[in-house]
Structure 1
Amino acid sequence: MLLNFKQSGLDPNSAKTVILIHGLFGSLENLNVIARALEPSFSVINVDLRNHGRSFKSDEMNYQVMAQDICELINHHDLQSVILVGHSMGGKVAMQVAMHEEQKVEKLVVLDIAPVDYHPRHDTIIAALNQVSQQKPSSRSEADKIMSGYIEELGVRQFLLKSLAKNPQGNFEWRFNLSVIEENYSKIISNIDTPRTCLCDTLFVKGNNSDYILPEHREAIVGAFSKAKAKIIQGAGHWLHAEKPEAVNRSIIDFIQ
């Protein structure tokens, strides 16, 4: 099955194509701020990963199958070369694609994630999401109130609420497949498959206040992506493209042009 996607910007026959890949609990809307900055100069494909947004649901969820979904999208558009930009989980998907299809990935931009295993860090968020599902709120504000008992940061709650939508019966439910994400969470926080060193031109962009990319990750990054460069966005955390969009967009455009 093909991922849900939104195509914008220039004609792919006359411009390079950039594929944008969102993170966990997100959707293609999350990277619209990057898409808008790229549209004047590139063909842009913004995707919903499996079990997210309006893409298909599947019981299988790991970096191998998510990377294959992107490869099928590339083949569907008959693209010989693409630029990949991925945030968080989407950054790992992008890295996995580059590992498998290096000849088709001209450049790779990874936003605030490293090719390493992570400790669980979404327990509170998953608990909040499950509470919303169980209590069946009649409005987004009611759902926000439920989540506020678990998640203090308003910005995180607002991000999650973007994926709360009414189903055909008129009830609010999460667009992402929460039960499958929860079942496969250990695979989502695990490392990608790195059988070799990828020679793609790669940029890792880190939020200065984020702990997703740390100095001790440097060896793993360079070992997997020998041409890796780094850019730090001051005053930004893990949601760097939302917190400092101009700086992030400029970093991406400077690198891929």
Structure 2
Amino acid sequence: MGLTYFFKIRILAAQLLEQQHTPVLFLHGLLGSKRNFATLGKTLGIQLDKPRRVLGVDLRNHGDTLPWSESMSYPQMAKDVINFLDSQNIRKVVLVGHSMGGKIAQALALLHPEYVEGLVVIDIAPVRYSSKEDPHWRAVADIMHAINDTETTTMENKIITKRDIDLSLRQKIPDPALRAFVLTNFDSKNNQWKIPISTIVDELEQIAGFDLVLPSATNAGESSSSSYEGDVFIINGGQSRFVRHAYMDQIASFFPNHMLTTIRGAGHWVHAEAPDDTVALIKRYLDR
């Protein structure tokens, strides 16, 4: 499957100065796309003291990605990013990943550390989330199932407009901003979803987990204590529960050289709720 179909590159910012520093690649979260980081990426590119290319991509089964894929394991999605980097002749990169994109970035750093010069992880931990134990992940799963149920209803009752989809989601997703985010994945022109909703729902267990076979594992299917020794910067939202104290040992095991900063008042979508703070923190990391 050729990478041409996996990603469509968007250069968010490219300074006219000679490109002397490692490029930055943004990886979006579940139900997101490269457009989520367009404004933030441009702002970051302008403010950086060290000139860098700032790039964004659409991940597997998201955005403009075609063809769709049945599986969404983190090793596979990390390999997608490797293929993209190779296609652009990028040998080293600083990854900035939010949520699912943050897990992909972490997986890539652990499986292919030779590509990763730096890592910024936004509000996610390298752990398996459980709907029973993690209310925030349960909310995500509930949203996905609500969308999937709506898709089924749409097919049965021929509800095809964006407004109809919005109305049918109101009971299960009362937050209008969250519904608007979900509906960025609906093609109003053709009255259909742009992404394979049912496939993503089927892969939620994969997305909730962090199942890797690391290079030092001795048996097939066995995870190891291998770690990424580079600098890792974790940004989490003070109102979010995706990066909890209970996960810190696991984070330290995988990423011994990590630093964590909390943006008070922000939830899981830290970069959307506190864009100026997010840019300032990423800039500080990149310009250090």
SS in structure 1 of the partner of residue 56 of structure 2: strand
* Whole-angstrom distance in 1 between the partners of 2:110 and 2:194: 29
SS in structure 2 of the partner of residue 180 of structure 1: helix
**Given the alignment, which residue of 18, 22, 29 partners 1:16?**
22
User: Which residue of the partner structure matches residue 60 of structure 1?
Assistant: 71
Stretch deviating more after TM superposition (217-226 or 141-150): 141-150
Q: Which amino acid aligns with 2:207?
A: I
Q: Percent identity?
A: 30
SS in structure 2 of the partner of residue 162 of structure 1: helix
Q: Does 1:94 align with 2:105?
A: yes
Give the drift of 1:123.
3.3
Give the drift of 1:33.
3.2
User: Which residue of the partner structure matches residue 162 of structure 2?
Assistant: 140
Q: Does 1:179 align with 2:198?
A: yes
Stretch deviating more after TM superposition (83-92 or 100-109): 100-109
* Whole-angstrom distance in 1 between the partners of 2:259 and 2:78: 22
* Whole-angstrom distance in 1 between the partners of 2:211 and 2:261: 22
* Whole-angstrom distance in 2 between the partners of 1:126 and 1:47: 22
Q: Which amino acid aligns with 1:7?
A: I
Q: Which has the larger radius of gyration?
A: 2
Kindly indicate whether the alpha-carbon contact (under 8 Å) linking 1:127 and 1:150 is maintained by their aligned counterparts in 2. no
Query: Would you say how many aligned residue pairs link Structure 1 and Structure 2?
Result: 254
CA RMSD of aligned residues (A): 1.7
Report the TM-score when normalising by structure 2.
0.83
* Whole-angstrom distance in 1 between the partners of 2:263 and 2:8: 30
User: Which residue of the partner structure matches residue 47 of structure 1?
Assistant: 57
* Whole-angstrom distance in 2 between the partners of 1:107 and 1:165: 35
Report the TM-score when normalising by structure 1.
0.93
* Whole-angstrom distance in 1 between the partners of 2:19 and 2:278: 27
1:168-207 equivalence runs, <5 A: 170-193=189-212, 195=224, 196-207=226-237
Gaps of 5+ in 2: 132-137, 215-223
Q: Which runs of 4+ in 1 moved over 3 A?
A: 11-15, 136-139
Kindly indicate whether the alpha-carbon contact (under 8 Å) linking 2:93 and 2:116 is maintained by their aligned counterparts in 1. yes
* Whole-angstrom distance in 1 between the partners of 2:130 and 2:197: 19
Stretch deviating more after TM superposition (186-195 or 69-78): 186-195
Measured against aligned partners, the alpha-carbon deviations of 1:105-134 in whole angstroms (never above 9, x if no partner) come to 111000000011101323321232124323
1:1-257 equivalence runs, <5 A: 1-2=2-3, 3-10=7-14, 13-40=19-46, 41-56=51-66, 57-120=68-131, 121=138, 122-133=140-151, 134-135=153-154, 136-166=158-188, 170-193=189-212, 195=224, 196-257=226-287
Q: Which amino acid aligns with 2:116?
A: V
